[in-house]
Amino acid sequence: MSEIKNKPRFEKRIFWDVNFETLDYDKRASFVIERVFERGDVEDIRQCRRYYGDELIKNVLVNAKYLPQNRLHLISAIFEIPIQSFRCYTTIQLNPKLFPY
């Protein structure tokens, strides 16, 4: 038997720049996961973890090109992944910016 997953209920504000009603959560899984962890609140993250599972989420987030610094630390703590393992962290370290005065 195949397990039918209930579609998660995310806030529309997370997907402000796309047509929310036609967003396919399965075909665009990487986009949805990155956006939820970048802009979502605790309940959105719970919905995402329930729907996609931790293994897929870890794989997507470790290979993400960009995550905000504060969310990167949150994700690292939630999944117990060293921050140095994230692609976006490595990219930031390779491209240092000027010190803000």
**Is residue 58 one of the residues assigned to a domain?**
yes
Confidence (pLDDT) at 98: 74
- State which residues form the domain around 86: 28-93
Number of domains in the chain: 1
Confidence (pLDDT) at 101: 67
In 3D space, the residue among 60, 48, 58 whose CA is nearest the CA of residue 6 turns out to be: 48
Our CA dihedral for 16, 38, 94, 83, rounded to 10 degrees, sits at -170
**Is residue 37 one of the residues assigned to a domain?**
yes
pLDDT averaged over the chain? 89
Per-residue pLDDT, averaged over 56-78, amounts to 94
Q: What pTM value is reported for the model?
A: 0.85
